[in-house]
């Protein structure tokens, strides 16, 4: 770890990424631009891509863990977290390391990581509230939620957070519980509605209203994310089930009101009309 000369006087970090899929790659690009040294390990072999990006790729997890990382950043799918952590030989860690996760749910990784991490390792739980699509033109004003669950090495933690601050992110410190409560009402709901819209098969038409275009975009953006991510938002956020029930209830309420109004208007249903005239 060495001091850099940027205006934030932050530290240049060695960051090892576990899970080099879409989101891991997306974060790595900005971290490299800021001068941090990145290495990665993943289930899939990303050696060639990493070579192009100037990243060391480790097929062997033990060698990855033994490398001199200031930060180990976990960016695997929510569903694979527990299984993936079983494959990490924590005993090979040579010194205090800051573990950071970027999973879209927060209580689950906090609990699992607190169980498996050696006590001397620090833990920062984060959720960048954006992705490769919403963050493609920059991270200005996009939210980075974080919870310093167990941080003793403040310099490393603050240098890591500064990566997002330097990109103009809105830095939101809150508990993992509060995050999950809010995210169930916002992110999970958004993904659920996007998936429902996809099930209806909606497509752009020649007479789109602006609002309908928003719906088509919502369908596209949510289905671009993996189904693993969507199901993880449901399975590992204890507040999501209630939101799904609320959504179902709300649908029934809207349907009931429409049918009630139609009855009050006494608009004869075509099939009833045909039956009447028989």
Q: What is the torsion angle, in degrees rounded to the nearest 10, for the CA atoms of residue 252, residue 254, residue 257 and residue 259?
A: -70
Residue 23 sits in the site that holds ligand NAP (CB under 6 A): yes
Going by their DSSP bridges, the two strands 170-173 and 14-18 should be labelled as unpaired
Please identify, using beta-carbon distances, which residue of 11 and 174 lies nearer to ligand NAP.
Answer: 174
Q: Residues in contact with ligand NAP, total (CB under 6 A)?
A: 25
The residue from 19, 37, 39, 65 that contacts ligand NAP (CB under 6 A) is: 19
Please identify, using beta-carbon distances, which residue of 1 and 233 lies nearer to ligand NAP.
Answer: 233
- C-beta of 122: minimal distance to ligand NAP in Å? 20
The residue from 195, 228, 231, 239 that contacts ligand NAP (CB under 6 A) is: 228
CA 81 to chain centre: 13
Residue 156 sits in the site that holds ligand NAP (CB under 6 A): no
Residue 243 sits in the site that holds ligand NAP (CB under 6 A): no
Window 104 to 133, contacts with ligand NAP (CB under 6 A) = 104, 128, 131
Nearest to ligand NAP by Cβ — which residue?
131
Residue 144 sits in the site that holds ligand NAP (CB under 6 A): no
Beta pairing partners, 144: 128, 171
The DSSP element (H or E) to which 258 belongs, if any, is helix 240-265
Residue 239 backbone phi and psi in degrees, to 5: -90, -10
Q: How buried is 79 (Cβ within 10 angstroms: 0-12 exposed, 13-18 middle, 19+ buried)?
A: middle
**CA pair distance 126, 122, nearest whole angstrom:** 13
Residues that bind ligand NAP (CB under 6 A): 19-24, 42-44, 75-78, 80, 83-84, 102-104, 128, 131, 225-226, 228-229
């Amino acid at each position: 770890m060495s001091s850099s000369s940027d205006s934030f006087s932050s530290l240049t970090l060695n960051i090892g990424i576990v899970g080099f899929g879409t989101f891991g790659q997306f974060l790595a690009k900005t971290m490299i631009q800021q001068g941090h040294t990145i290495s990665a390990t993943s289930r899939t072999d990303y050696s060639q891509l990493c070579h192009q990006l100037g990243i060391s790729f480790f097929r062997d997890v033990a060698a990855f863990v033994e490398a001199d990382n200031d930060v180990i950043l976990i960016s695997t799918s929510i569903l694979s977290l527990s299984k993936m952590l079983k494959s990490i030989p924590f005993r090979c860690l040579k010194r205090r390391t800051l573990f950071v996760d970027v999973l879209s749910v927060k209580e689950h990784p906090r609990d699992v990581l607190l169980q498996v991490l050696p006590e001397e390792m620090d833990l920062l739980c984060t959720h960048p509230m954006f992705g490769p699509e919403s963050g493609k033109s920059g991270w200005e004003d996009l939210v980075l939620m974080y919870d310093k669950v167990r941080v003793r090495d403040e310099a490393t933690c603050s240098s890591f957070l500064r990566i997002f601050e330097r990109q103009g992110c809105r830095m939101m410190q809150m508990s993992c519980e509060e995050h999950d409560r809010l995210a169930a009402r916002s992110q999970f709901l958004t993904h659920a509605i996007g998936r429902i819209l996809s099930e209806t098969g909606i497509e752009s038409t020649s007479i789109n209203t602006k609002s309908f275009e928003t719906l088509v975009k919502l369908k596209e953006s949510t289905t671009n994310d993996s189904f693993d991510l969507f199901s993880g938002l449901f399975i590992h956020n204890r507040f999501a089930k209630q939101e799904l029930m609320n959504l179902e209830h709300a649908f029934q309420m809207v349907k009931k009101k429409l049918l009630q109004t139609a009855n009050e208007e006494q608009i004869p249903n075509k099939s009833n009309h045909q039956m009447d005239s028989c």
